[in-house]
Amino acid sequence: MTVGKDMHELVERLYPLCRSITGDGVRATLEIVGEYVPLQVHEVPTGTQVLDWTVPQEWNIRDAYVADAAGNRVIDFAASSLHVLGYSVPVSRTMPLSELREHLHTLPEHPRWVPYRTSYYTPEWGFCLAQETLDALPDGEYEVCVDSTLADGHLTYAEHVVPGQVSDEVIVSCHVCHPSLANDNLAGIAVATFLARALAEETPYYTYRFIYAPGTIGAITWLARNAERIEQVKHGLVLACAGDSGRLTYKQSRRGDAEIDRVLRHVLAASERPHHVTEFTPYGYDERQYCSPGFDLGVGSLSRTPYAGYPEYHTSADNPDFVSPEAMADTLAVCREAFAVLDRNRKYVNLSPYGEPQLGRRGLYDSLGGRSDAKQAQMAMLWVLSLSDGEHGLLDVAERSGLPFDTVAAAADALCEAGLIKA
C-alpha cells in the first residue's frame, strides 16, 4: 500500500493551492507534479482562438476576506481557497450585511460545508461560506476585500510522454483547474502521475501521453493545438474522482464500442470488483471534448463515485480525509491492468491454418508439464490458433473462450515463438 500512501501525500501537498482555469495556482500545481514526473509545460496567450473558444484572461489572487467592524475576518481566503468565488474580480469596499448577502454562497442543506462556486466568464465577485457562519453574522457594516487581478496572460497546461514501441498514442487526461477539492480533482492527478511512473518502468507497446489541463478550455486548447496529429491518438482515458470509497465507474466513449470500452468492461468484469459501466453522455469531464464528433476519439472516463454523484462533491467536505490510499491504489491497479490488456491486444495470423497443427511435435504440450492450469493453457492455444485470422484480437479470444486474458496472451507468445502465428 506504499503507492497509495504516496499518492495520498501528493493530494495533501496539492490541496491548499488555489487552482483555477488559469493562473499561478495551476503553475504551482504543475511544479509539484513535475517533481514526480518530468513535464513539458505550455503557455497559451490570452486571446488565442482555440476551436470555437478564446483563451480568457489570466486570474490570480493574493488575498481575500470579509471583516467585521472589529477587524475580525469572518470569511478568510487564507483558511481555504474555496472561500472565494473563482475568478472574482477585485473589490475593496465597506457595505452592510444586507448588500453583502447578494454575493454570498452557502449550502443550506449542509450547513457546515463550504460550497465551490466559480464565475469564469461573467465579471463578478463573491464569497463562499458555511451556512452556520452566515447565520451567526450580525447586521452591521463589513469590510470586503478581494485582492485579485484579471488581466492578459496565459492558459497553462502540461504533458508527460512515456515512449512506446510504436508512435500510436494512448492519452490519459486529468483536470487541474479546481481549488481545494481532494477527490475532484486531486485524486485523478495523483493516479495519473503514479500511473506514468509505473509505465516508465516498463516498455509499453503504445506511447502514453499524459495531459494535465484545466477542464473544458484546457482540453479544447490541447485539441486545437494538436489537431494535425490527432490520428496518432488511438485510445484514451480521463481520470477524475479517483479516490473515494465508492465502487469503480467506467463511462464509455461516445462510440460505445471503442477498444478502450471493451478493455475496461473486460478488466472490471474479470477482476470481480464492484463496478458500474455507464453509457456516454455529453456532460461530465473532458471525455466530452475528446469524443466530440469532429474528433470522435475512443476516450472513456474512469472514476469511482461519478461526477456529482456524492454529497461532498464540490464542497469543503471533499478534503484529504474523504479520499483514501486504498481507493487510489485500487484505481491505479485497474488502470495498469487495463493498459496491460490494451498493450497486448493485437491481431495474429495463423501460419498453419489448414487443420490443427501438431503442437506436441513442437514441444508446446511439453512446455505445459506440471502447470496447474495446463488444460486451460492448452485450450488457450487452440482458441488463439482458431481465431488468428487477422480479424480477431486477443481480447476477442478471451471473451469468446471465457479464458483469462493473461492465459490467452501467454498462449499467443508461445505460438509466436514456435512459428505458428505472427502478429
Looking at 272-420, list the stretches that DSSP marks H as alpha helix, in order from N- to C-terminal side: 287-290, 325-344, 374-387, 394-401, 405-417
Is residue 22 within 8 Å of residue 193, measured between CB atoms? no
Are the CB atoms for 290 and 236 separated by under 8 Å? yes
Cell of 382: 487452440
- The answer to whether 259 and 342 are in contact (CB under 8 A) is yes
184 is in an annotated binding site: yes
Instruction: Return the percent helix, strand and coil in the chain, to nearest 5.
Output: 35, 25, 40
- DSSP state, residue 104: E
Is the alpha carbon torsion for 281, 287, 292, 297 positive or negative? negative
Q: What is the rounded distance in angstroms from the CA atom of residue 66 to the CA atom of residue 260?
A: 49
Query: In angstroms, rounded to a whole number, what is the distance separating the alpha carbons of residues 373 and 281?
Result: 42
Q: Which residues contact 369 (CB under 8 A, 6 or more apart)?
A: none
| Cα dihedral 8, 191, 332, 287 in deg (nearest 10) | 140
Residue whose cell numbers read 493530494: 11
Q: Is 314 annotated as a binding residue?
A: yes
Q: Report whether 178 belongs to an annotated binding site.
A: yes
Answer positive or negative: Cα dihedral of 147, 148, 151, 157. Answer: positive
Find how far residue 62's CA is from the centre of its chain: 28
Annotated binding residues:
178, 184, 314
Bind-site residues for Zn(2+): 178, 184, 314
